[in-house]
Amino acid sequence: LVAVQREHDAAVAAGDARRVFRSNQRFHREFVGLLDNAVLGQAIEEYARRTHPIRFGSLVTAGHRERARQEHWTMIQALRDGDRDALMAVCRDHLIPSRDAYLASQQAYAQTQGAYLTPSAAI
């Protein structure tokens, strides 16, 4: 996990969004691979696959990439320390940018669709 995160660090430092995304995916696969629950791991992998475009979009800005990088190291430290509460908190916080990107895209889509509706079209 540490070796994969070092690759992610290098990609973030280089500003290479594609490499950042790929190393981020590897980090998450390795992280999920640590689970003792195969069913949960499969569910996480499936949802990760389904949300691929949203997750990529949330890593577009340098600030989001740096946040993810720092959170990965916090996850690693929580694993090392055996601090389950800290690990759950950082994992929960780590999902926020993707959630926010998804909600913003849905809101933008709804507003665009509403702009084309007329009262007669709604009947």
Q: pLDDT tens, 19-38?
A: 998 999 999 999 999 989 99
Q: Is residue 55, in this structure, part of any structural domain at all?
A: yes
pLDDT at residue 116, as a whole number: 55
d(CA 8, CA 30) in angstroms, rounded, equals: 13
Query: Using only C-alpha atoms, what is the Rg of the chain?
Result: 18
Q: pLDDT tens, 49-59?
A: 888 777 777 67
Q: Is residue 45, in this structure, part of any structural domain at all?
A: yes
d(CA 44, CA 95) in angstroms, rounded, equals: 12
pLDDT at residue 3, as a whole number: 98
Q: Is residue 98, in this structure, part of any structural domain at all?
A: yes
DSSP designation for 117: -
Q: Is residue 60, in this structure, part of any structural domain at all?
A: yes
- How many domains does the structure of the chain reveal? 1
Q: How many CA atoms lie within 13 A of 16 on its CB side?
A: 13
Q: pLDDT tens, 74-93?
A: 999 999 999 999 999 999 99
Q: Is residue 123, in this structure, part of any structural domain at all?
A: no
Q: How confident is the model at residue 60 (pLDDT cuts 50, 70, 90)?
A: confident
Range of the domain at 15: 2-115
